[in-house]
Structure formats: structure tokens, C-alpha cells
Amino acid sequence: MLTDAHCHLENNQELANLLVKKQITTIVNCQTPEEWHINQKLTRNMEPLSFGIHPWDANRLTLQGVLPYLEQADVVGEIGLDSVWTENSLDCQKEVFTAQIEWAQASNRPVILHTKGCEKTILATIRQFPNRYLIHWYDCSNYQREYVDLNCYFSFCLAILDDANVIKLARKVPLNRLLIETDGLSSVEWLENKPVKVEDYPLILDQTLTALADLRQVDKNMLTKQVAANLQRFLGK
């Protein structure tokens, strides 16, 4: 009953096959029309797909241009703002972000958020547009309580092993808002600073669950079921 609330397939058919074969419910992220078509094919429509204009692409994609994909997606995301890892201006990012947040609320779609360096602004934005939000890989020490109080979902990756801010957050999220993510194999490789094989993917999810169960001092099997139920609820199923 493993789950992955946020994953980039990066054109990896072997990983897509493993998700389907092992029945790992995974929200597979698509950030361009091209990637949408590729991921539909790779997953044979067996996994939920998220579609959103990532802040890194805010300078080249528009809401109008991606509406056909948003309309088909189970989840809007990952979308957000980023003042650390992109040269795109915040004004340009905000325009694309706000348009998508408004569309998601009006269309009753849950949202996956990328908040890097812009945690305060995003908090203020989502307060204006109540919806189901999943905050992915939140590693900021500030505003944790505020996001928790807005009933957001939070997905935790292997950074839970040694990132003090992530650990601090993992202690305070209610059990019914906890999720697990990998953010894709490249992110795991970046974190671990070593190559990771597709066959190790279930183990990575399992290690993350173990760490979270230890931190929360709850039974791992119970937590695994809870996280799976949380993902279904986030998806609106």
C-alpha cells in the first residue's frame, strides 16, 4: 500500500511500469503539454496526473495555452513561486500562479504547491482562495503553524532523515494530513548524492515511512494505511 504524492517520471518507462505493477498510487507531475502526453502513455492512464505551470516555466507558458491539460488533470500542480532556483521574475511568476490558483478553486481541483523562498506570499494567496492544498517538500522554518492551521496536506521525502526544518514540521502536522513523496528519482539522487536505481524506489518510500513513523512514535503499518487514505482524500476520491 505504498503511495507517492508527488513524483516526476522524467521519461522513465521502467519506473512507470513499476508503479503500475506494484500498485503504488502516485501523483505523476506534468509541467508541459509534451510531458502530459508522454506521462499518459508511460502510465497507461493508471495513475493520477497533476498538471501545472511550474514557476520555472512561468516565462514561456500561459494559462490559456494549457487549459486543455488542466481540464483533464486530477490535480493542479506543481505550481507556486520560487525566489531561489529560477531567474524568472516574481511578477511574471505571480501572474501565472494566481491565474492557476483561481482556476483550480473555480474548477474544484486540489493543488500541489512549490513554495521555495516565497512561503509568506503563498500563504497570503491561498488564504484568499480556500481549497485543498498539498505543500510539497516544505523546508522553511517559518509559517509552519499557519499552513497547518489552514488544513493543508504536507508531503515528506527522505529529507526527513536530516533536515531540521522538515523534522520540525513533521512533528506538528496532524496524522490525517501526512503524505509521502519522492519528487522523482533525480531529487532522491540529489538528496542522497549518489545514483539510485528504479528497483530501489519502493525502498525509498518505505524508508521515508519508517522515519516518519519513528518521529511520530506510531505503528508503521497504521501510518502506511493512514497516508494512503490521506492521498485518496486529497484526490477527492
Q: Which is nearer to Zn ion, 74 or 183 (CB)?
A: 183
Give the cell for residue 178: 501526512
Contacts (CB under 5 A) with Zn ion, residues 127-186: 183
Q: Counting every residue, how long is the chain? A: 237
Q: How far is the CB of 8 from Zn ion (least distance, A)?
A: 6
Nearer to Zn ion, 115 or 125 (CB): 115
Cβ-closest residue to Zn ion?
183
Cα 205 to Cα 22: distance, rounded to the nearest angstrom: 12
| Minimum distance, C-beta of residue 181 to Zn ion, in the bound complex (Å) | 8
Question: What per-residue string of b and e applies to 33-48 under the rule 16 or more CB within 10 Å gives b?
Answer: eebbebbeebbeeebb
Least distance between Zn ion and beta carbon 95 (Å): 21
Q: Is the Cβ of residue 49 or residue 213 nearer to Zn ion in the bound state?
A: 49
Torsion angle defined by CA atoms of residues 186, 215, 153 and 89, in that order, rounded to the nearest 10 degrees: -50
Residue 78 C-beta: closest distance to Zn ion, Å? 5
- Residue 163: count other Cβ atoms within 10 Å of its Cβ: 17
Nearer CB in complex with Zn ion: 4/183: 183
- Considering the complex, state which of residue 119 and residue 183 has its C-beta at the smaller distance from Zn ion: 183
Shortest distance, CB of residue 77 to Zn ion, whole angstroms? 9
Q: What is the dihedral of CA 157, 35, 134, 84, to 10 degrees?
A: 70
* Interactions with Zn ion, residue window 181-220 (CB under 5 A): 183
Phi, psi of 39 (to 5 degrees): -70, -30
Residue 146 Cβ vs Zn ion, minimum distance, rounded to whole Å:
22
Q: Which of 96, 106, 155, 95 is nearest to 130 (CA)?
A: 106
Instruction: Please check whether residue 51 is in contact with residue 71, taking contact to mean a CB–CB distance below 8 angstroms.
Output: no
Number of residues that bind Zn ion (CB under 5 A): 1
Comparing CB distances to Zn ion, the nearer of 100 and 213 is: 100
Residues that bind Zn ion (CB under 5 A): 183
